[in-house]
Amino acid sequence: MRQKLLATLAATLTLALHPPGSRAAEVPLDQWDGQRAMGRIADLLRFTPRAIDTPGHEQAIDYIKAEMGKTSADVVTTQRWTFKDSAGASHAMTNIIARFQPSNPHRVIVATHYDSIVRAYRDARSPDAPMPGANNSASGVAVLLETARVLSLMPKPAVGIDMIFFDGEEGPKALGAGDPNWMAIGSPYFVHHLHDYYPAQKPEKAVVLDMVCDKDLELQPEPSSLALALPEVKKFWTAGAAIAPKAFSTKSTSYPISDDHTALNGAGIPSFLVIDFEYEPYFNTTQDTIDKCSVDSLQAVGRTLLQYLYLP
């Protein structure tokens, strides 16, 4: 993902939350297990780097498909294509899409990206070394996998859920913000072929997670999410403030952040990003390792997501 530093937008907004007491029916949030999610991050780190064009990328795809296959997702499918970059090089791309209650017309997308950057370009000492991506890429996947496991134990929510593990969020060079010509690949491709998955009506909303395991978790809404999905941001942050007050800040970031929600918003699906972008000095270095993650942070995000999916 990348932040856009626009002087004109360098102001923070404060999100007004719904009054307390608007929580939905009892959802057994304690089923959502941060320790299990942490185990998922450990599993994924074995495949580092998980960047496009690497063996670890294929291993991550196989792992996610296999793990989603153990849940109550009715369909686990892949969207495969070849991406040609501006230099003419081809890259094999794969979005993984797992659908719960596929015949339910009211659909919500829960997404993250699974590709990592290819090297730790921000590392002062070893910019060519692998970038583990415990937080930047593995944490989002871990939250989706654990959420899928818990959903399989619970009554079906009112909405049909499509979990999407996007490829290529880190761009054609797999350098994320380290590439001045960065652009996400997987989510724009997905929205370009939206009709393949939603022939009758578009999904109603989307939540995108990225960088959500930081020990010192502070989730701030970012301006493009507030502009295009304000009611959903309010619902999510209100649920989060009841579950883990310290992790949910009502103050927005002073800059918009581009991530996979950007393409979804572009397709007219109200979409928002859940991210803790303040991850210095580890961001995109060799130090983005599992010891920077916490069980409590994963639980704060995962339980909020679970609650959100059961809100009216």
Positions touching Zn ion (CB under 5 A) are 136, 210
Nearer of residues 136 and 249 to Zn ion, judged by Cβ: 136
Minimum CB–partner distance for residue 1 and Zn ion (Å): 5
Minimum CB–partner distance for residue 112 and Zn ion (Å): 8
Residues near 198 by beta carbon (within 8 Å), at least 6 away in sequence: 107
Nearer of residues 305 and 311 to Zn ion, judged by Cβ: 305
For residue 169, give the amino acid letter: E
Nearer of residues 71 and 137 to Zn ion, judged by Cβ: 137
Query: What is the sign, positive or negative, of the torsion defined by CA atoms of 119, 264, 74, 161?
Result: positive
Q: Are strands 257-258 and 2-3 parallel, antiparallel or unpaired?
A: antiparallel
Minimum CB–partner distance for residue 101 and Zn ion (Å): 28
DSSP, res 219 = B
Structure tokens at 66: 């296999």
d(CA 100, CA 161): 5
d(CA 163, CA 97): 6
Minimum CB–partner distance for residue 133 and Zn ion (Å): 8
Minimum CB–partner distance for residue 169 and Zn ion (Å): 6
Nearer of residues 51 and 269 to Zn ion, judged by Cβ: 51
d(CA 142, CA 44): 9
Nearer of residues 277 and 310 to Zn ion, judged by Cβ: 277
For residue 303, give the amino acid letter: R
Residue nearest to Zn ion (CB): 210
